[in-house]
A and B are shown apart, each in its own frame.
Chain A
């Protein structure tokens, strides 16, 4: 069974530039999550989708972050404009029901 796919693995941008991350969840998983993990900290939930609807985006900085999950499958997380403090690993996860989340390898963003 293929795991959660994320791209790109690494991205370096200047502040005020924009960036987009892509995630393809495990086939059949209805729930998709984006987490932000700053170095040395635990993952922080940014947004949770159930199919193509948003379940929780209370911690998403909506002035600069946006996410969509068209057709209820893959998802894109965008940051525009990026700030220095957005440097982090962006983790995508999916689940097929209550319980275990399956994580991708993450996309590491460095903002200079």
Chain B
């Protein structure tokens, strides 16, 4: 299966701390994306990193990609209670068809 795996499955931190989530995947990719899902809602795109990139920033988000280890990490700095959500990594199949396969997700709880 192409599906990735996130680690940890659940993470609980205090407001203001940093949160790091990891994702591993199995096959070649063109890009890797991170999405956020609030409880009972749809997924919202956060950031995309291409296979030839190693690091990308967007506001309080920092994403790294190591294609040799088939892994990625998402760092959220200075977390806020509003960051409480599930976070998923998604990879394409490397075919150019843009069919995304999602991981199992990390449930982040930020305690005010």
A contact residues vs B (CB 8 Å cutoff): 4, 31, 33, 35, 41-45, 48, 55-56, 91, 93, 95, 97-106
Q: Is the CB of B104 within 8 A of A106?
A: no
Closest chain B CB from A34 CB (angstroms): 11
Given contacts A42-B3, A42-B103, A42-B105, contact A98 B43 (CB under 8 A): no
B96 on the A face (CB < 8 A): yes
Having A42-B3, A93-B42, one finds 15 other A-B pairs with CB under 8 Å, namely A33-B99, A35-B102, A43-B102, A45-B99, A45-B101, A48-B97, A55-B99, A56-B99, A95-B98, A99-B31, A99-B33, A100-B33, A100-B48, A105-B42, A106-B42
Choice from B31, B33, B41 contacting A105 with Cβ under 8 Å = B41
Q: Given the complex of chains A and B, what is the CA–CA distance between A101 and B98 in angstroms?
A: 9
Q: Is the CB of A98 within 8 A of B99?
A: no
Closest chain B CB from A15 CB (angstroms): 24
Choice from A41, A48, A95, A103 contacting B42 with Cβ under 8 Å = A103
Q: Given the complex of chains A and B, what is the CA–CA distance between A56 and B103 in angstroms?
A: 18
B30 on the A face (CB < 8 A): yes
Choice from A41, A45, A104 contacting B100 with Cβ under 8 Å = A45
B45 on the A face (CB < 8 A): yes
Q: Is the CB of A98 within 8 A of B42?
A: no
Q: Is the CB of A98 within 8 A of B98?
A: yes
Closest chain B CB from A99 CB (angstroms): 5
Chain B residues contacting A41 (CB-CB under 8 Å) are 104-105
Chain A residues contacting B102 (CB-CB under 8 Å) are 35, 42-44
Closest chain A CB from B103 CB (angstroms): 5
B44 on the A face (CB < 8 A): yes
Q: Is the CB of A101 within 8 A of B96?
A: no
Q: Which chain A residue lies CB-closest to B89?
A: A42
Closest chain A CB from B111 CB (angstroms): 21
Closest chain A CB from B34 CB (angstroms): 11
Interface residues of B in 27-60 (CB under 8 A from A): 30-31, 33, 35, 41-45, 48
